[in-house]
Amino acid sequence: MATDMQKLIGTSEEDEEEDMDMDVKEEDDGDGEENGEKHVATPVMVEVGGMATSGSNNQFQYHDQQASRRCRPLEEKERTKLRERHRRAITARILAGLRRHGNYNLRVRADINDVIAALAREAGWVVLPDGTTFPSRSQGPRPMGGASAVVTPSSSHMVSQQTPAASLRGVTSGYQSSGEYNASSMKGVYMPNSSPYDLSSSTRSQTPPMVGDGGEHESHPLIGGSMNTVDDKQIVDLAPKLPERDFAGTSYVPVYVMLPLGVINMKCEMVDPDGLLKQLRVLKSVNIDGVMVDCWWGIVEAHAPQEYNWSGYKRLFQMVRELKLKLQVVLSFHECGGNVGDDVCIPLPHWVAEIGRSNPDIFFTDKEGRRNPECLSWGIDKDRVLRGRTAVEVYFDYMRSFRTEFYEFFEHGIISMIEVGLGPCGELRYPSFPVKHGWRYPGIGEFQCYDQYLLRSLRKAAEDRGHSLWARGPDNAGSYNSRPLETGFFCDGGDYDGYYGRFFLNWYSQIVVDHGDRVLSLAKLTFDGTRIAAKLPGIYWWYKTASHAAELTAGFYNSCNRDGYAAIAAMLKKHGAALNFTCAEIQMLGQHEDFVEALVDTEGLVWQVLNAAWDACIPVTSENTLSCHDRIGYNKILDTAKPMNDPDGRHFSSFTYLRLSPLLMERHNFMEFERFVKKMHGEEVLDRQV
């Protein structure tokens, strides 16, 4: 009987297995569905008239059944194979495009799972190795509607900005943010309200996925959701767009764009003036306020002391003026190359390098005696070791030459701000975590006070204190890649909080403040009438430990019982200088695995520094540290630049976007950037959803 039935059906076990394989490859393309029911690969039972039938003695019913259970024609199988090949070809082209243009690190034989994971991570989601996917803190929860999973423009609605959790099912209210964590140790610190896209991944919706009212699968794109199986049916967990904060009518924050590092070459000539002019015209069309450019010491005073060549910068500044844009200028007294984002190499002036070969103590030095030629040691600020000049005099002469050369740009208000480089990467800090010496995140770094000039200063401070034995650096502070608990100095209850530790850290951090004080006093004298600024980094790793080890080695005495940024803010206030803080958007990364491991509290750090500056009544500017082209990243910057419900209405005085590149000029990225500029300017923006 079974043999006769098999002959009537016209199939074999091998054909059944082939059909099964093809059905798996088809991934529910619609050909296997009839009358709203999912196709099942095994042709042993079918539905006729809504009832499941098997063998029967009724001859007519039997032949009807066999006719309905015919196999798929051979032509259909060939079409299925062609469709599968076509799909694979499309997948291969997608992977190739992502590798070439999107900088996605996809393996050669990557499959669609790798693509989805890469795109999800780019959108701010966390994808674990086992495929578990959930929104990061910046992504926020996925609000689910009532009985229907269909979201259309006519049915979507805005969620209340002040109470986003009220309309989210399954969102807990007991989450303590990193800002709340830090607030417990800072009195009188303002913490902004969270935005609807700034919720922890722990608060993601637990609502089960839903099916449309019709009982069939609703057709929707998969927006970072997961596939769940309920009653043997695959259902998509939808994520409707989250409402954005409305910035219309808020304060006007000027937006500048940082020009490429290599816009001026080592001969002080513009590299591609025509191409740059086209890009600047496009930027001008979206109403940016101006551009920022580095004026490199290693280019301008490259060959001999006090011989300055500003020719390339003159041509660049003239181009900017003709476009009616403003200029923010960075006087960069450090080398370029070797740090994150550096795509060119611009060393210190040749004559400085020659002095360094005979006297390497002009550079910062670690405990192993390794020199860092990225910038000059602050120990020679007042020592005449640079062909008869001190380091501060060298900086002063450079600043005066710039002011004289570009006098008319100051007079006409084209130059709106001068940022003075004060250390590595232009930041006011020690070079405590140099990649060239083997440092890798999240290492604590090392103290950089072992050149003869800084050791001399330490020896004098110890003698003045009456403890000459303290004229040394800590001998139990670990190495560049140590963790705090692995060291005797930075561990909980470690030497950092002992008598010697407090003495050493006071001296080490005071050197930072004194250097900034000396250089900015001369900058204020030189650029009287123009705003000056100093750049401060965001050292966010190990912020949740008691010692704040990474901040200590960088020169910020910000352990749990001290405020390491108040003294710097007071120094900036003294000279009327603005603070350029470079950690404005990085708080969105605080929940990533490697950040959690390093006990990061990016939000707590950001608001501690901002409150220190605003309490001292100094202007705050900022720039992004990471490449940003998506709406979520821009929204985080906006939330920091214009804190919601700040009782004093405080906000950034300007923001600089890093940086002009072909990637920014791509159509979709540039549209998002234009949208960001409008919101920074307080203009109305349509489609306020993310």
User: Which residues participate in catalysis according to the annotation?
Assistant: 427, 623
Reduce the secondary structure of 572-598 to three states and give it as a string.
Answer: HHHCCCEEEECCCCHHHHCCCHHHHHC
Question: Within 13 Å, how many C-alpha atoms sit on residue 169's CB side?
Answer: 9
How far is C-alpha 259 from the geometric centre of its chain's CA atoms?
A: 19
Classify 534 as helix, strand or coil: strand
Do the Cβ atoms of 678 and 250 come closer than 8 Å? no
Provide the residue type at 441 as one letter: Y
Q: Report the distance separating Cα 385 and Cα 403, nearest Å.
A: 25
Distance between CA atoms of residues 43 and 69, nearest Å: 7
Sole residue written with tokens 């990637």: 663
Phi then psi for residue 553, to 5 deg, are -65, -25
**SS3 of residue 453 by DSSP:** helix
Tokens of 491: 């561990």
193, 177 contact by CB (below 8 A): no
Instruction: Report whether 135 contacts 124 (CB < 8 A).
Output: yes
Task: Give the DSSP H or E segment for 403.
Answer: helix 391-405
Query: Under 8 Å CB-to-CB from 20, ≥6 apart: which residues?
Result: 41, 42
CB 469 within 8 A of CB 386: no
**Cα–Cα distance measured from residue 454 to residue 620, given in angstroms and rounded to the nearest whole number:** 31
The Cα 68–Cα 86 span in angstroms is 30
**Cα torsion 199, 202, 203, 204: sign:** positive
Q: Indicate the residue type of 314.
A: K
> Can you read off the two tokens belonging to residue 309?
């060549």
